[in-house]
Structure 1
């Protein structure tokens, strides 16, 4: 993965407009929170291979972190705190947010084909 380049990522996001895509979205503070503070809560969300029709796709933010939003016919999917990106097989866009220690905090994976299990 490499640091987000907003123009390149925006161009890739636009290739998904007016198409059905499969989305993987997860957020986590992992076991990190409770390992270092027994009063901290472990939180996270996970969804894989949710099929959505994309009407609009946008990335915004500054050099530290970014937010990506996908407008669908009935609402929005968005991920915030993204820092890095890569393109798999020329068709799967993976965006992730890592904390200062490099630990995963958020991931958004978008593909025109179902993602692996």
Structure 2
């Protein structure tokens, strides 16, 4: 496992590495397998990820726009530059704040197997 799909020739804004497409959620793996799953995602206006549950803690960082992380008991607004962590085994969804487009990084660290 290692990083992929990241610039090595010059620094670039992370939000510019992925484009929103009408009616879609676009995703790009930045690292996967092994110790972490690291994704960059672009959500068109009105798009969302339905409720999911991960087997590890998941960190979300909004890189453009604003998103809502929808938990069983509350909704948390996360603005560009902000981060929010959802503990393992907590079902949650991710959607644009008031239906808007946004870009977000998702980093999941699977629980250690015992």
Please indicate, yes or no, whether the TM-score normalized by the shorter chain is above 0.5. no
Structure with the higher fraction of residues in helix conformation: 1
